[in-house]
Every structure is written in structure tokens, then in C-alpha cells.
Amino acid sequence: MRPAPSFTLQNDLTNESCSLQQFSGQAVMLTFWTSWCPDSRVDLALKQRLFQAMDQSKMQMLMINVTARERIEDLSAFVHEQGYTFPVLLDEGRTVYDLYKCQGVPTTIFINSQQEIESVLGDQASFQEVTEGLASLLK
């Protein structure tokens, strides 16, 4: 396993800074996404339901919008219209996307409580693979 690259990004919903280090000692699931991607939209809808049901004291879910690949101007309106309540972080261009060596969207990265990357799921991963990754992370 390799260390998860650190980052600090702005939360689009709260305008506060959010860093990976804030969640040291907790498992973290990162998802890189864009609003125009049909696979991202399906993935985010499923993850919203998961977010509402999960125990956030055991794991954090952070959704990172890849702003350099985004096509809409008012992301906050999109997030509100979709009813997303999970943290939506704004990548600065594609800085964090590139740090994590992503190849497409959505990309889901599982980070253990020691802030090491346990696994990475690419844009064709099924929701079953996501839930299996979460189960493995939370053992």
C-alpha cells in the first residue's frame, strides 16, 4: 500500500476548507466525478443513499469534483438540485485528480485509517464492487 497524497480543498456546500488529514484514524472513500458524465451521475445517486445510511463516525465519504473537466458553471445549483448531502470538494483544476493518478470519472479510492490507499476502482466499477471495497475497508 502507498500513502494517500494529502490535500486541502474547499467544500462547495459549506465554503470551508477540508483536508485529508482531518480524517486521520478514520477510513475515507474518495470519489472523483463530473456532472456531465452519465456514469458519475448513477454512481453519485447510489452513493448518496449509502451516505445517508452509513455511520459517519467510522468512515468519511468525500466527493471531489474535477473542476478542469467540468462543463457547468453553477456546480452548487447542480448539487442542490440533485439532493446531494455528502461533502462535495472542488479540485483545483485537476490537481488532486492527477495526484491520485485517476484515469477517468467516476474513480473511487479507498483510504484506510492509516491514510494508505487500499484500493482504487475505475469508471467501470459496479456498485457491488464499491460496497465490497467499503466492507474490506471497515473490517
For the stretch 111-136, pLDDT in tens is 999 999 999 999 989 999 999 999 99
| Cβ atoms < 10 Å from Cβ of 102 | 23
Predicted pLDDT of residue 138? 85
Architecture, CATH, for domain 7-137: 3-Layer(aba) Sandwich (3.40)
Taking CA atoms, 79 is separated from 22, 123, 134, in Å, by 23, 20, 24
Q: Would you state the pLDDT for residue 139?
A: 82
Angle, nearest 10°, between helix axes 38-53 and 127-137? 40
pLDDT band at 58 (very low <50, low <70, confident <90, very high): confident
- Report pLDDT for 52: 94
The proportion of the chain whose per-residue pLDDT surpasses 70, expressed as a percent, equals 100
Residue 109 pLDDT greater than 90, yes or no:
yes
16-30 per-position pLDDT tens digit: 999 999 999 999 999
103 DSSP assignment: -
**What's this model's pTM, rounded to 2 decimal places?**
0.95
**pLDDT at residue 57 is higher than 90:** no
Q: What is the pLDDT of residues 59-82, one digit of tens each?
A: 999 999 999 999 988 999 999 999
**Cα distance between residue 51 and residue 70, in whole Å:** 23
Contact 122, 135 (CB under 8 A): no
How confident is the model over 6-35, as a mean pLDDT?
Answer: 96
